[in-house]
């Protein structure tokens, strides 16, 4: 059974890589598993886009767990692990995450093709003014925060900036959860809660290692935020992500985490907020055809908003002036928005340039696949 389940897993992963899927979902239903692929952000039933016609046995979950070095016996607690697999379409790093549900263990496998290169700052899809701003700030140092939803390409942007500084000969230290891709030129630390190595602890230790550039995966608590701000003030280029709905919300979120406004104003040099917009298939206008393997999309492209240091100061002053700290973030922001126009705050606006740039260049970012579907070239 293991061999058979092994063959099925190999087949599913190979198909997923060929389809440029970013994730594969294995959902327990009745006595088998339902398989879905996430392609260009859209979740698609496997049988709609592939030749995987057979019923997928539940033993496949066990096989995935073995591959990712997870405990087979443990079925009541979520686990995650990873494995590198070779497929006819190239090697892929697979992150396997399990979750117990009332119908059995549900598994999501996130796929990161090994041969995919990180983008350069120039190929992120930033419009020239934005590109200039990012480059200027990255060369200078201080804190740069990237925000946006899950899968919006934040890591891609961070890694592009890291690469630029690394190529200039600077020392790069990252604290990640987990390390998505090992890069020879960087010192990479993986967060491990079991030994107390949190983002905050890792960052504190990193500061003693005298790096030029520090990247911490995410700021999600006050401790990490405080040290990150300190790192920025010390002149390191301090890169991280933070959860927020806009560039202004990033500033408000840090204030709410308890960061001193004047320290924040000196440390935070640039906020980037990004999202990915789907790029429709030109052949079928989104209805689905052979060229887009029925998905209707051929990729996604990034759209950015930037808030410069002067804009950060304006947001802080607006919040202070209104004495609205005690309000919720949402009401604080809407009051502030109502008072003055966004453009006053050094927001460079949203880049939505279209046309002229090949979809493959401009399209997909992050672990989410590629700009052009494999069927398109055939």
Q: How far apart are CA 254 and CA 331, in angstroms?
A: 16
CB under 5 A: which stretch of 160-168, 196-204, 275-283, 350-358 binds Zn ion?
275-283
Tell the smallest beta-carbon distance from residue 125 to Zn ion (Å).
22
Q: In whole angstroms, what is the distance from residue 87 CA to residue 17 CA? A: 8
Residue 309 CA, chain-centre distance (Å), reads 24
DSSP H helical segments within 211-273, as ranges?
222-233, 247-256, 261-267
Stretch that binds Zn ion, among 31-39, 62-70, 253-261, 276-284 (CB under 5 A): 276-284
Query: Under the criterion CB under 5 A, does residue 292 sit at the interface with Zn ion?
Result: yes
Q: SS3 of 24, please? A: strand
What is the smallest separation between the CB atom of 12 and Zn ion, expressed in angstroms? 24
Closer residue to Zn ion (CB): 179 or 277: 277
Q: How far is CA 317 from the centre of its chain?
A: 31
Q: Which stretch binds Zn ion (CB under 5 A): 13-21, 188-196, 206-214, 277-285?
A: 277-285
Residue 324 in tokens: 């609205």
Q: Which helix (H) or strand (E) holds 100?
A: strand 90-101
Bridge partner residues of 170 (DSSP): none
Nearest to 60 by CA among 121, 105, 127, 124: 105
Q: How far is the CB of 49 from Zn ion (least distance, A)?
A: 12
Residues touching Zn ion: how many (CB under 5 A)?
Answer: 6
280 near Zn ion (CB under 5 A): no
The verdict on 283 binding Zn ion (CB under 5 A) reads yes
Comparison of 275 and 283: residue with beta carbon closer to Zn ion: 283
Q: Per CB under 5 A, does 289 bind Zn ion? A: yes
Which range in 39-47, 106-114, 278-286, 370-378 contacts Zn ion by CB under 5 A?
278-286
Instruction: Please spell the DSSP secondary structure of 339-354, one letter per residue.
Output: HS-GGGGTEEEE----
| Contact status: 293 vs Zn ion (CB under 5 A) | no
Distance of alpha carbon 335 from alpha carbon 378, whole angstroms: 53
Distances (CA, A) of 88 to 51, 77, 160: 16, 33, 28
C-beta closer to Zn ion: residue 66 or 279 = 279
Closest CA to 47 of 34, 66, 38: 34
Verify binding: residue 143, Zn ion, rule CB under 5 A: no
Token couple for 311: 């804009």
Residue 1, CB half-sphere, CA atoms under 13 Å: how many?
8
Q: Is 284 in the site for Zn ion (CB under 5 A)?
A: yes
Part in contact with Zn ion (CB under 5 A); list of ranges 11-19, 188-196, 274-282, 311-319: 274-282
Residue with smaller CB distance to Zn ion, 266 or 283: 283
Would you list the DSSP string of 161-194? HHHHHHHTT--EEEEESS--S--TTSEEEE-BGG
Rounded to a whole number of angstroms, the minimum distance from the CB of residue 293 to Zn ion is: 8
- By beta carbon distance, the residue nearest Zn ion is 281
Min CB(300)–Zn ion separation in Å: 15
Find the shortest distance in angstroms from Cβ 218 to Zn ion. 36
The yes or no reply on residue 281 touching Zn ion (CB under 5 A) is: yes
179 vs 284, which CB is nearer to Zn ion? 284
Contact positions vs Zn ion (CB under 5 A): 281, 283-284, 289, 291-292
């Amino acid at each position: 059974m293991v061999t058979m389940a092994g063959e099925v897993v190999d087949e599913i992963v190979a198909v997923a890589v060929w389809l440029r899927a970013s994730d594969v979902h294995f959902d327990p239903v009745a006595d088998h598993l339902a398989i879905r692929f996430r392609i260009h952000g859209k979740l698609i039933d496997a049988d709609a886009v592939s030749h995987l016609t057979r019923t997928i046995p539940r033993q496949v979950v066990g096989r995935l767990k073995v591959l990712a070095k997870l405990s087979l016996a443990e079925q009541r607690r979520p686990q995650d692990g990873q494995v590198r697999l070779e497929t006819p379409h190239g090697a892929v790093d697979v992150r396997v995450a399990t979750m117990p549900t009332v119908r059995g263990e549900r598994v999501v496998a996130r796929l990161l093709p090994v041969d995919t290169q990180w983008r350069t700052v120039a190929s992120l899809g930033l419009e020239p003014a934005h590109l200039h701003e990012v480059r200027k700030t990255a060369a200078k140092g201080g804190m740069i925060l990237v925000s946006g939803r899950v899968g919006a390409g934040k890591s891609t942007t961070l890694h592009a900036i890291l690469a630029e500084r690394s190529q200039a000969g600077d020392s790069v230290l990252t604290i990640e959860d987990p390390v998505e891709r090992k890069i020879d030129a960087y010192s990479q630390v993986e967060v491990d809660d079991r030994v107390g190595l949190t983002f905050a602890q890792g960052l504190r230790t990193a500061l003693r290692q005298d790096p030029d550039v520090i990247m911490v995966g995410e700021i999600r608590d006050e401790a990490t935020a405080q040290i990150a701000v300190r790192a920025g003030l010390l002149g390191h280029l301090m890169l991280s992500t933070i959860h927020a709905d806009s560039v202004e919300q990033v500033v408000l979120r840090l204030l709410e985490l308890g960061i001193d406004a004047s320290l924040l104003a000196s440390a935070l040099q640039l906020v980037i907020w990004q999202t990915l917009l789907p790029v429709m298939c030109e052949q079928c206008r989104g209805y689905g055809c052979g060229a887009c393997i029925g998905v209707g999309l051929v990729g996604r492209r990034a759209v950015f908003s930037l808030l410069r240091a002067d804009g950060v100061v304006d947001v802080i002053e607006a919040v202070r002036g209104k004495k609205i700290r005690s309000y919720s973030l949402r009401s604080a922001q809407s009051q502030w928005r109502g008072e003055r126009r966004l453009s006053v705050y050094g927001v460079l606006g949203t880049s939505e340039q279209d046309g002229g740039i090949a979809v493959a260049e401009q399209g997909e970012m992050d672990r989410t696949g590629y700009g052009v579907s494999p069927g398109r070239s055939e």
